[in-house]
Structure 1
Amino acid sequence: MVSQVRRHPLAEQAAELLLARIRAGEWPLGHRLPGETTLAAQLGVGRSTLREAVRILAGKGVLASRQGAGVFVTACDVPEDWDIVLRRATIAAVVEARIAIEAEAAALAAHRRTPADLRSIRRALAARAGADGSVAELVDADTAFHRTVIVAAHNDVLTQLFDTFLPRLRFAMIDMLDLRPLPSSAEDHAAHERLTAAIAARDPGAAARHSRTHLLAIKEAFT
């Protein structure tokens, strides 16, 4: 069993011990923690200190208090900061995550796009075609196009997820294209035209398929 808390600050120490026991699998995901009296005695702290420890872990997404039901495990560890995760990620891992986000977003865009959305997508497509300057300019124009597709899905969660990837994605793509240009820029742009056409035609299956095929080609080109 984990040793009792011996130093201040007690609440932070108690939170660390609770987290260690959760990581060790003592309380699985969705499991209810023992009652306050039992748990406070196990940790060697008062009930007010235990409540503060629970609040600390609740703030980190590990625990959740349910009125009248108790305290439950909602995550088995403290999630890492997105910036740290993305800095460590390979370009292949980032592209795989993009596929998961963008293929679904493309299908939703085909369902939900408005005339204004379609105009934005087509403007971004034209701007992408006209980006004949630096690699950074092409990457920025390409990213702007993909973002218009995601915005057309009208799902704020998907948009925010994509925006989280942008800095890591931008730098990685610039570095990769500087070293190894895409085999066929004409075919790459044609893939974007096919995606736009599927969204315009309100064909979710084709939109998702074109999005996935395009991103898989990028992954294969850089791995």
Structure 2
Amino acid sequence: MPLPPLRPSPLVAQAAARLRGQIAAGEWPVGAKLPGEATLARELGVGRSTVREAIRELAGAGLVRARQGAGVYVVATEPGEDWSARLRRASVADVYEIRMMVEVRAAELAAGRRTRADLARMDRALAARDRAFAGPDDAALVDADIALHVAVVEAAHNPLLTDLFAGFAPVLREGLLDLVRLVDVRASDAAHGRTAHAGLVDSVRARDPGAARRTVEAELRRTLDALGALPGR
């Protein structure tokens, strides 16, 4: 079915919206091949470069996928939910379980790959956590705690692990803030918290992957159990 010409600018957004509407309406069902760039450009009344950018937007939304040498095919009729949105909807406990998988492996890698600069960064983060623990600001304590774990993950020198952990950080921060506000962490967890975090840094310093794994796993398990006990979790 021919498409009516589009109004001027922003052409890419309009083209993407029009094609998205055609897909949603069933003009091209899942598995169907889109018409070629020249055909779409003619029907939409735009240049081929505009069509190309519009299709890129659809691909980014998970609606179409290009097959090398075969064309562009519809793979979904509704946009997929991006990872950030999915994380925002997830429970803190669910995120923490994934965090454990990621950070336990990251600690092992850090023990084998850390540099002097990594150790210096971890030592500074541990000292900052100690200072925050001694102060009254709950948000500062949570931020300092996360910063220490970020330093360990970064010492693994895997940019994908670093990015994945960074994606968890906002949800983790929310859950940890709930925890420190509802539980007197400074009174009930002072010894364990300092010992666990210092032990993690020492394990990485000693290049002991097994100790690093066990230390971070035990610490995160304690926090996960505490989060699971919070009202509404």
Matched, 1:196 2:195: no
Aligned length: 205
| Structure 1 residues 114 and 75: alpha-carbon distance in aligned structure 2, compared to 1, 3 A threshold | farther
Give the Cα–Cα distance (whole angstroms) in 1 for the partners of residues 75 and 208 of structure 2: 38
Give the Cα–Cα distance (whole angstroms) in 2 for the partners of residues 206 and 20 of structure 1: 57
Deviation (angstroms), 1:34: 3.5
Map Cα deviations across residues 157-176 of structure 1 (whole Å, 9 max, x no partner).
22222223323322331122
Give the Cα–Cα distance (whole angstroms) in 2 for the partners of residues 100 and 64 of structure 1: 31
Which position in structure 2 is the counterpart of 1:137? 140
Pairing 1:20-169 to 2, within 5 Å after superposition:
26-27=30-31, 33-34=32-33, 36=35, 46-48=39-41, 52=51, 54-71=55-72, 78-131=79-132, 132-133=134-135, 134-169=137-172
| Structure 1 residues 175 and 113: alpha-carbon distance in aligned structure 2, compared to 1, 3 A threshold | same
Deviation (angstroms), 1:69: 3.3
| Structure 1 residues 5 and 35: alpha-carbon distance in aligned structure 2, compared to 1, 3 A threshold | closer
The answer as to whether partners of 2:175 and 2:227 remain within 8 angstroms in 1 is no
| Structure 1 residues 85 and 67: alpha-carbon distance in aligned structure 2, compared to 1, 3 A threshold | closer
Give the Cα–Cα distance (whole angstroms) in 1 for the partners of residues 173 and 195 of structure 2: 21
| Structure 1 residues 75 and 202: alpha-carbon distance in aligned structure 2, compared to 1, 3 A threshold | farther
Map Cα deviations across residues 54-86 of structure 1 (whole Å, 9 max, x no partner).
433213244332441333577896342455333
Give the Cα–Cα distance (whole angstroms) in 1 for the partners of residues 60 and 121 of structure 2: 39
SS at match of 2:57: helix
SS at match of 2:157: coil
The answer as to whether partners of 1:15 and 1:54 remain within 8 angstroms in 2 is no
SS at match of 2:184: coil
| Structure 1 residues 72 and 155: alpha-carbon distance in aligned structure 2, compared to 1, 3 A threshold | farther
Deviation (angstroms), 1:219: 0.8
Q: CA RMSD in A?
A: 3.3
| Structure 1 residues 10 and 121: alpha-carbon distance in aligned structure 2, compared to 1, 3 A threshold | closer
Matched, 1:172 2:171: no
Deviation (angstroms), 1:112: 1.0
Deviation (angstroms), 1:6: 8.3
Matched, 1:14 2:19: yes
| Structure 1 residues 148 and 5: alpha-carbon distance in aligned structure 2, compared to 1, 3 A threshold | farther
Q: Structure 1 unaligned runs (5+)?
A: 28-32, 41-45
Give the Cα–Cα distance (whole angstroms) in 2 for the partners of residues 87 and 125 of structure 1: 28
The answer as to whether partners of 1:5 and 1:13 remain within 8 angstroms in 2 is no
- Name the TM-score, length of structure 2 as normaliser: 0.71
| Structure 1 residues 139 and 76: alpha-carbon distance in aligned structure 2, compared to 1, 3 A threshold | farther
The answer as to whether partners of 1:12 and 1:56 remain within 8 angstroms in 2 is no
| Structure 1 residues 137 and 35: alpha-carbon distance in aligned structure 2, compared to 1, 3 A threshold | closer
Give the Cα–Cα distance (whole angstroms) in 1 for the partners of residues 145 and 191 of structure 2: 13
The answer as to whether partners of 1:15 and 1:56 remain within 8 angstroms in 2 is no
Paired-residue identity, %? 42
Q: Structure 2 unaligned runs (5+)?
A: 7-13, 229-233
Give the Cα–Cα distance (whole angstroms) in 1 for the partners of residues 79 and 126 of structure 2: 40
Q: Letter of the aligned partner of 1:154 in structure 2?
A: H
